[in-house]
Amino acid sequence: MIYVAQGYEKSEGLPLFLRALSCFPQIIADNFCLMIDERSANSFKIDKERLHYGLLQVPVVICSNNHLSQTQSSLESCLEAIELNDLLFTLPTQKNQLCFDGKGASGYTEFLRKYYSLPSISMSFQSPSHKFLLLSDHIPLTKVSQISKETIIAKVTSALDSQFFFIKKIVFLGINPHAGEEGLIGSEDKVISEAMKILKKKYGQYEFIGPIAGDSSLISIPNISETLVISPFHDQGLSLFKAQNGLVGANISLGLPFVRLSVDHGTAPHKKAQDLSITGMIYCINLMMKRLEFNHGIK
């Protein structure tokens, strides 16, 4: 089953998801279960645990956690229901809609880290032609160089063992401009080189490259679709990813007991669903169906 967290109620994420899912046959929609907060349920036609959208019928569970935001009410209902081979699909929300133990959580990834006590959960991004892993995400730039060799190894290991099975190359981007120019600019990239030595021994089937200068990485990497690009910090990797793919991409959380995906765009509260492209949402639905088949051994 693919559990869908509704996201921010003022977002166009849910209408966009329903519009995209309506492009698929009903047999595909039957693999999804939308957890919708009762405060939003009245906006849709729901009958006998089915949400009706044109000819489409989506399995639905109505949540009633009125002491929580609608985003968190839906998400926690998903987390209570989800099992090992299931998937979680989170629709866009705003970062002020989630909290844990009375403190704000800056988005889904940070909330899930706290909820499962798994600080090593990492963000990755995938499109039809690119695969990126971020070694850090929502932290100040001054803390990027503090990443440890052990953290790098743990995050790359999780990515290779749980998600990116069919790659041939792994390319590390450097932290400093020109990857430090062999120490002339800085020595912060040394930790990446040390982690790579250990990873090469563990994963001899892959070609490891780097650390390389981030500014020319997409020019200097051949066969990019067969490559996992590893970025030390958030904007370095996502600037490259989004420049190449626009909104056609999936944000995939690694290190959870299950696979969690979301679209690679925000809430778009001032736009209407009919004015937004559904290409990215359709890509995510296809990606999730392939992963669901993989999880259950369906060829």
Taking only the tens place, the pLDDT of each residue in 208-251 is: 998 998 777 666 676 788 999 999 999 999 999 999 998 899 99
Whether 122 contacts 155, CB under 8 Å: yes
Residues 236 and 263 in one domain: no
Q: Are residues 147 and 203 in the same domain?
A: yes
Residues 17 and 111 in one domain: yes
Residues 102 and 206 in one domain: no
Closest by CA to 223, choosing from 294, 284, 166, is 166
Mean pLDDT of 133-137: 93
Q: Report whether pLDDT(272) > 70.
A: no
CATH number, domain at 163?
A: 3.40.718.10
Mean pLDDT of the chain: 90
- Report the number of distinct structural domains present in the chain: 2
Same domain? For 229 and 280 the reply is no
pLDDT tier for residue 52 given thresholds of 50, 70 and 90:
very high
Nearest by Cα to 217 from 172, 247, 186, 187: 172
Q: At residue 121, does pLDDT exceed 80?
A: yes
Q: First and final CA of the chain: distance in angstroms?
A: 17
Note whether 140 and 183 are same-domain residues: yes
Asked whether 130 and 245 are in contact (CB, 8 A), the reply is: yes
Q: Which residues form the domain of 211? A: 119-255
- Helix ranges, 47-185 (H): 70-81, 108-115, 149-162
